[in-house]
Amino acid sequence: MVSSGTSFAASGGKSDLSVSFGAASYSFSRNEFGYIGNEDNNTWENVGYFLGGIANFRDINLIINSTDVTLFTQTRYEDGSKDKISHSGIVDNETGEKLMSFGPNSRGYINGKVGFAIEPKLSTSNYEVPIDLSKSVNLTVNKYSFTLTRGLGKVLPYQGLTINCVNMSSLSLWLNGIPNIGLHPALLHYSIQAYNSGFRPDLFSFYLQNR
């Protein structure tokens, strides 16, 4: 929860006195609530409420359950050769369990690199790859939130260009209130690195709500 009390006092009561609850806010000056999708919002205000909602997800998840995990980016094949596409997965640090490692359920369904990218295949959230911790990031998440994405992994087909490992890892982190870029394993890795270094878009939600 964030309040504008300091700026209200500094302006001699001329600025808006409001309090933000993340996905919603209340203005004491105007005696009204604000929320995402309000017809009076501008684009930045809607972005602010969206980011505030993400921060709410983060807070709730960490209260319910707190689990230390590693986001790993696999950059090499089993034979040691470099994989330009690479693979994203999330593993529980305590148990070693793969909370999310989405991929085809059998290499037998893959017909060359083009087939890997285009052909829909039966999927699994326990795709077996050697975990490379040389390119990894540590995070704290709610382990139970992975129930949803693992459930999706049982019914959605794997398709390399659309429903793939990085999309499912990215979605799992968004559901934990962790903003990220999930277009490619490398982008996901570096966006989470930036998040851990303090680049937290959700922390600016209050200011965007009051633009």
Residue among 75, 83, 77, 22 at smallest CA distance from 51: 22
Instruction: Band the pLDDT of 113: cuts 50, 70, 90.
Output: low
User: Residue 164 pLDDT > 50, yes or no?
Assistant: yes
Strand stretches in the chain, DSSP E? 2-3, 18-20, 24-27, 32-35, 67-76, 82-92, 98-100, 103-104, 123-124, 136-141
Angle CA(75)–CA(76)–CA(77) in degrees, nearest 5? 140
N- to C-terminal Cα separation, the chain: 18
Evaluated on CA atoms 152, 181, 100, 81, the torsion sign reads positive
Q: Which residue has the higher pLDDT, 7 or 159?
A: 159
Evaluated on CA atoms 38, 42, 43, 44, the torsion sign reads negative
User: Residue 3 pLDDT > 90, yes or no?
Assistant: no
Instruction: Band the pLDDT of 30: cuts 50, 70, 90.
Output: low
Instruction: Band the pLDDT of 2: cuts 50, 70, 90.
Output: very low
pLDDT in tens, 59-111: 777 788 889 999 999 877 666 667 667 899 999 999 999 999 999 886 545 55
Of the ranges 18-22, 32-36, 145-149, the best mean pLDDT one = 145-149
pLDDT in tens, 116-129: 667 888 899 999 88
